[in-house]
A = this chain, B = another copy of it.
């Protein structure tokens, strides 16, 4: 539903995205990856919206990354046919869902870090016409999932290749930000050990938006996963990864209270901005008011401290760049896209809330 941007601004709180900034962000990282010879496989957890996934593929992405089967199902419905789910899919019910999804897609891959997960996937896929592609997740320092050593990685690769219904697809890591040397040491050794077992890695998948401009520096990485880059956020500005102008998404809010000369309250609280500090101080950057400090959020109120004579009054609108855009998009049933002609279009967040 298009409507005039100036006369029909959406009721607040609302998430408004600038389409030209979105497209520039897509094009910039794609050009970088093309120049470095690494495939880009964007993570849709950030936007959860099929049209953006399609735009990423149209720009040259090799496929997409999802974290949940439910997200992948939404994207498959929209015609995306090459999906990597970077998650341990555990349990008979989920594995059966994964197989149904696989039957609809040109290419589906998942990651694992344990024998138990491999065995569960194999049980679901042993009668499948096409094997499921399975990559080994390596914990190269992030301290989340992943095998703990190159030796474990090679052993798990062999177990995958031997498992009925599965095909070993390579290695994957979600690197700790800033430690690319440590990541490279782990992954190079794992590649050696996998090769010693006579297996080849079709993909070596790395990722993360903060280090995206370094993607392709390591010649062993074949594909790069980034999510946040499509919109960017305050955390990336504060890290120095992107300028504020590259932030495509702003939460529009209305000043609903000005209780003191230095305190404003807006109608965007933790049920919109979330409490995700993501390493920041404060809950967002208020555009045009660098002196403003979003000091606190309750569920439906955002409290902003400002020096006196800030010029804002009850009824005024403010625009806030959030700390962590991936979790903020997930709070909205729909977002508003400001198109290049200035009109706003309502776009459903189709994969929002797909928690399973």
Cβ-based interface call for A90 (8 A): yes
Please determine whether A299 and B45 come into contact, CB atoms closer than 8 angstroms: yes
Please determine whether B274 and A315 come into contact, CB atoms closer than 8 angstroms: no
Question: Which of chain B's residues have a CB closer than 8 A to the CB of A353?
Answer: 331-333
Please name the residue on chain B nearest to A349 by beta carbon: B353
Cβ-based interface call for A28 (8 A): no
Please determine whether B116 and A315 come into contact, CB atoms closer than 8 angstroms: yes
Cβ-based interface call for A275 (8 A): yes
Please determine whether A147 and B259 come into contact, CB atoms closer than 8 angstroms: yes
Please name the residue on chain B nearest to A115 by beta carbon: B314
Question: Which of chain B's residues have a CB closer than 8 A to the CB of A114?
Answer: 257-258, 314
With beta carbons under 8 angstroms apart, the residue of B299, B314, B326 that contacts A326 is B299
Please determine whether B265 and A276 come into contact, CB atoms closer than 8 angstroms: no
Q: Report which A residues bind B (CB closer than 8 A).
A: 11-14, 45, 67-68, 87-88, 90-91, 93-94, 113-114, 116-117, 120, 139, 143-148, 254-260, 263, 265, 267, 270-272, 274-277, 296, 298-301, 303, 313-315, 326-327, 330-333, 353, 355-356
Can you sample 29 A-B contacts with CB below 8 Å?
A11-B94, A12-B91, A67-B299, A88-B314, A90-B255, A90-B256, A91-B254, A116-B313, A120-B315, A144-B257, A144-B259, A144-B296, A144-B298, A144-B303, A145-B256, A145-B259, A146-B259, A148-B260, A270-B327, A271-B330, A272-B355, A274-B275, A275-B275, A275-B276, A275-B327, A299-B326, A331-B353, A331-B355, A333-B353
